[in-house]
Amino acid sequence: MKKSQWIAVFIIFLMVSSAAGFILGSFSQDSSKSNLKYKGQEFSLNQDGRYFITINGVQFVFDYSPEELETVSIPSLDLFNSQKFYILFEPFYKNQDIDYNMQKLGYFLQATNKVVYAACAQEEGCPEDMPIKNCQDYSFYFKQANQSRAYIQDKCYIIEGDGEEITKITDKVDLKLVGL
């Protein structure tokens, strides 16, 4: 390779690395915009748009910022002081959104020292190895519905809805579980 070719390659390398440095530098400067303070706690925004917070050495993830959840209305969790909970679902109406939110709520309950079991709300379609429970046991009950809402019935904290709205309700419940 001739001297002039080496100089050309070197100049191209400098230009590409300068552009990359500028782009990466702008991301690090925007990190203050990706952090959010809420009730004395600092949430960090990840690249995938989720909010993370670490409390007592445990990392929690939220799909929505606490500020976005302020308008979401849910009943108090005060009645649910049990150490053992079931997460109920209807086998025929279980979908990807309900699965995701059941898993996320289960993680939050376990991380706050609760014992959690998945259970079916009805026998039909329920896997043989899974218990069938109702609202006589402390439970969080996920239901597929057109209207999104959370309410209490007997010992069930019912979360119903579809898609984005059921995720917002679950995030709000999770915020309350960690004391925010």
Cα within 13 Å of Cα(146), Cβ side? 0
Question: Higher pLDDT residue, 33 or 100?
Answer: 100
Predicted model pTM: 0.78
Q: What is the CA radius of gyration of the chain?
A: 23
- The two beta strands, 51-55 and 58-62, are antiparallel
Residue 42 near residue 34, CB atoms below 8 Å: no
Of 2.30.30, 3.40.600, 3.30.450, 3.40.50, the CATH number of 75-177 is: 3.40.50
Between CA 101 and CA 44 the distance in angstroms is: 21
With tokens 């999770």, the residue in question is 174
Q: What is the pLDDT of residue 33?
A: 55
* 22/52 Cα distance (integer angstroms): 26
Residue 92: partners with Cβ closer than 8 Å, 6 or more residues away: 124, 125
More confident residue, 154 or 15: 154
C-alpha dist (Å) from residue 103 to 22, 50, 88, 121, 135: 40, 16, 11, 16, 20
- pLDDT classification of 140: cutoffs 50, 70, 90: very high
Tokens of 119: 């259970």
Q: Where are the domains of the chain?
A: 3-31, 75-177
Has residue 108 got a pLDDT over 70?
A: yes
Strand, coil or helix: 164: helix
Residue spans of alpha helices (H) in the chain: 3-29, 96-111, 163-177
Look up residue 93 and give its DSSP letter: G
Q: What is the pLDDT of residue 19?
A: 47
